[in-house]
Chain A
Amino acid sequence: MATYANSGGALLCLGDDISSADIFSNLNSLGIGSNHYQDTTGTKDVYVFNAHIIIGSVASSGSASAWDCSDQIIKINDNDFQIYGTVQQGNINDGTSESGGAFVVSSAGSNDFRLYENGIFRCYGSMVYANQRIRVDTDSEFTLVDCDAELEDGVSPGESNTAYGDRQAFNFTRTRVHNTGAVGIKLYTFSTGSNAATFVLDGVKVEDCTFGFQTGSGTNLAPVIKDAKIDSCTNHIVPNLGSGSDVTFINPDFTELRAALSASSDVTRICFRYSLNITDSSLSPVENAKVIIVDGNSEEQVNDLTNSLGQISTLPTFDSETVLFNSTYSGTSRTDRATSTRSIATYLYNFRQDTFDVVSDFEDNVALILDSLISNSSKSSVDSYSSIDNSFEFYDRAKSYFLDNYSIGDELLVSREGNTINAGSYNVVIDSLASSVFSFDGSTITILSSEFGGSITTSGSITFLNGASSTGTISDFSGVSVNFSINITDSSDNSNVSDANLYVFANSGGNLPQGSEIINATTDSSGNYSERLNLTPDQPCFIRVRSSSSSGGIFYKSSLSQSTITSQGLTLQVSLDRDE
């Protein structure tokens, strides 16, 4: 049974069944204050108390002294309203607020409306007004759910770097805070670890306040504010003035922060929820795709492989929400990060790179398309090639290298069309003794091959080392290079003719003037000669072969034939008739 007593001119209410009607009657009977008002004729009872009221005491705090003012309209006009116990208006029924009312406190100065140790103030579905700052002390709870609140100077666990206590709990759920002359919601804590004040801000709307939020001077609050609708406020935030307590907004209704009073160490993040799902064209997750996301300030936010769900687990995360940044602030200095670039590199699929602006929550679903140029679907098999002898192997190995070494901004080293590798502007070295099968130093691709069977084109250079050769067309900065290969035999016995002299010169109909020398060389001990020719196909030519020795060797008749050096080069065999 609640008790009511005059305590130094205040009404001290104790017990778990404090009622508004009893407060009204006891104020009158005890002569505390005057002109109290009661109206119980309407849908909701109305009470106006012009007196100092104390709910609970140190000895009877929390739920021990409880005032249930549900479905009532309460206004307290006095210097002080003190809560040691519990003041509750309305309740939650099956997730929905009900039985709310109104609760108005008009006091003389800051902190006159005060929750002491273990004090609890809860309103569900109510209108709440306080004309002065509300002070919340140690282990006290201030909860507004589904409320419309105008708290002119907020609710605070401390002020001006002075803590009111520890472990205060603030809950603003589905609540509209509006039209305050100062700060809408103060996000202060002055303690650390388990002693810190805690805040629940869920579906909060802060409208038309001078300052939407203010962070205090605590060091570890780092509030994460989700879906805040505060752009109607004059300033979104009053930062914490250099104490290093960051503020993170997720999906706010603004992207340009308006901050009052700032220090450069105050960090404010504006970000939006982001999730990434990578699939193939049949929407099956693609695992081990390399994903790199770089924000608009060229800072890498993600560099990871997808998991079996085709997702990445290392996205920036705040309060269990994965996000990308729109911008960050140091004080009021903005760093624009909105234009993000997301790259996806895989072996089997086409490289994918997209740029988008982070200005709203974004579920990024990417369907990759198979790379039709891959000829060997096994990356491990490609990685174990002992040499690269055709364009198919070249492309596969280059794609594997690309994936293994990918960093943002990289592009595929080569492309392939048929049996022709296009190396862009990179130099290409074909080395029969290369120390590794495939390497790239930033400008030159080196492959291990004795005889490369494909064609290569690049605006850089192509170099053959240690006897390496190519049977295809080689096109580099110096022009088109095709392979010329000839074998000379003795028509009488088909034996190879070594040291035969070869003279190839231009016929009409090509790019070269008629008669221009193309080759003047000698066959090797096997009767062979090959050379890469820098000329423009198709080039008609004459091939003259002579072999005679005045020192006891075999004399052959001069041979003259004609052919055309095409883009595939020219390979021919010439038989010499003896001239005896």
Chain B
Amino acid sequence: MTISIDWGNTNIIEIQRSDMLEIESNLYELNVDDFRKSLRSLEQSEEGISFPKTHIHNTEASVAGVTYARLVQIINPYSVRFEDGQYSVRLSGANNNIFDVTGGTLVRNQVQVISNNSAGLISLSSTLSEEDLSKIAQKVWNEVL
């Protein structure tokens, strides 16, 4: 892979179209596991060693005979940008946040990024205060009169 990182400046991880597997015309696939390995190699390079790591990786986990997918999460201050063009990229091999435009991970251009994340069970976090939660409980509580 010829992935490059603009270390210490924009911190954009640049992915070339040629680095991905062409599935069909204008549809490419990025193996996220290979991608994160490339990032590890870049991190430990002479140039990259002085900068913070690019991502968090949680490997696959087997629970009761089911293998849960690995997770790759690009972290601040890094972001990902695909080589600009009118094509689509399908992310495979790991749940990830590469497609996350809102969170600032993906630098948006003409490329359409297709996430294949699988979330069988998700955890929610709340920004409600204890007071809010108490008020809600009062409203929905099936009180015995």
Which interface class (under 10, 10 to 19, 20 to 34, 35 or more) fits B? 10 to 19
Contacts of A549 in B (CB 8 A): 41
Q: Which 9 A-B pairs have the closest CB atoms?
A: A546-B44, A548-B40, A558-B53, A503-B49, A550-B41, A501-B44, A548-B44, A501-B49, A555-B40
Chain A interface residues toward B at CB < 8 A:
500-503, 505, 517, 520, 544, 546-550, 555-558, 579-580
Contacts of A547 in B (CB 8 A): 44
Minimal beta-carbon separation of A547 from chain B (angstroms): 6
Given pairs A501-B49, A505-B50, 13 additional interface contacts (CB within 8 A)? A501-B44, A502-B49, A503-B49, A520-B46, A546-B40, A546-B43, A548-B40, A548-B44, A555-B37, A557-B57, A558-B43, A558-B44, A558-B53
Minimal beta-carbon separation of B45 from chain A (angstroms): 8
Minimal beta-carbon separation of A578 from chain B (angstroms): 9
Closest to A500 in B: B44
Chain B interface residues toward A at CB < 8 A:
37-38, 40-41, 43-46, 49-50, 53, 57, 59
25 contacts between A and B (CB under 8 A): A501-B49, A502-B49, A503-B49, A503-B50, A505-B50, A520-B46, A520-B49, A520-B50, A546-B43, A547-B44, A548-B37, A548-B40, A548-B41, A548-B43, A549-B41, A550-B41, A555-B40, A556-B40, A557-B57, A558-B40, A558-B43, A558-B53, A579-B40, A579-B59, A580-B59
Q: When the two chains form their complex, are residues A550 and B49 in contact, meaning their CB atoms are under 8 A apart?
A: no
Contacts of A557 in B (CB 8 A): 57
CA A548 – CA B57 in complex, angstroms? 14
CA A490 – CA B31 in complex, angstroms? 27
CA A558 – CA B57 in complex, angstroms? 11
Contacts of A505 in B (CB 8 A): 50
Q: When the two chains form their complex, are residues A544 and B41 in contact, meaning their CB atoms are under 8 A apart?
A: no
Contacts of A579 in B (CB 8 A): 40, 57, 59
Interface centre among B40, B46, B50 (most CB of A within 10 A): B40
Choose among B37, B38, B49, B59 the residue that contacts A546 (Cβ–Cβ < 8 A).
Answer: B49
Closest to B48 in A: A546
Closest to A499 in B: B44
Q: When the two chains form their complex, are residues B38 and A501 in contact, meaning their CB atoms are under 8 A apart?
A: no
CA A501 – CA B45 in complex, angstroms? 8
Q: When the two chains form their complex, are residues B59 and A501 in contact, meaning their CB atoms are under 8 A apart?
A: no
Contacts of B59 in A (CB 8 A): 579-580
Minimal beta-carbon separation of A241 from chain B (angstroms): 89
Contacts of A517 in B (CB 8 A): 50
Contacts of B45 in A (CB 8 A): 501
Minimal beta-carbon separation of A491 from chain B (angstroms): 14
